[in-house]
Amino acid sequence: MSKQIITLTVNGTDLAFEPTTQAYNKYINELNMDDKVAPAHNYLNRVVTADSKDALAKLLNLTGAGLKIAAKVNEAFVPELEISIKN
């Protein structure tokens, strides 16, 4: 399976990410009611490409940036599913 590269432009800066199912699952498992920011930052640092690491670090200093960026990465990475209930 080839790697999926997701490129986002955030405040004029291109960031490239290589999410994996393992990294995504770890992120979801780390989330809890009292902590969402640290898991988002950790996840992004795990999946960001080496070339984008410094730019990401600067953006993560902005309030709420980690959660918004993680959401966009996951929006592109996680497949859409059509689910219905059968009676």
Query: What is the three-class DSSP state of 64?
Result: coil
Q: Backbone dihedral region of 11: left (phi > 0), alpha (psi from -120 to 50 degrees) or beta?
A: left
Domain residue limits, the chain: 6-77
* Residue labelled with tokens 């770890």: 26
Give the pLDDT score at 53: 98
Helices (H) and strands (E) in the chain, counts: 4, 2
Comparing 2-6, 58-62, 80-84, the range with the smallest average pLDDT is 2-6
For the chain, the average pLDDT equals 95
Average pLDDT over every residue of 3-15:
96
Element (H, E) at 39: helix 37-47
Most distant CA atoms of the chain, gap in Å: 52
The yes-or-no verdict on residue 61 having pLDDT over 80 is yes
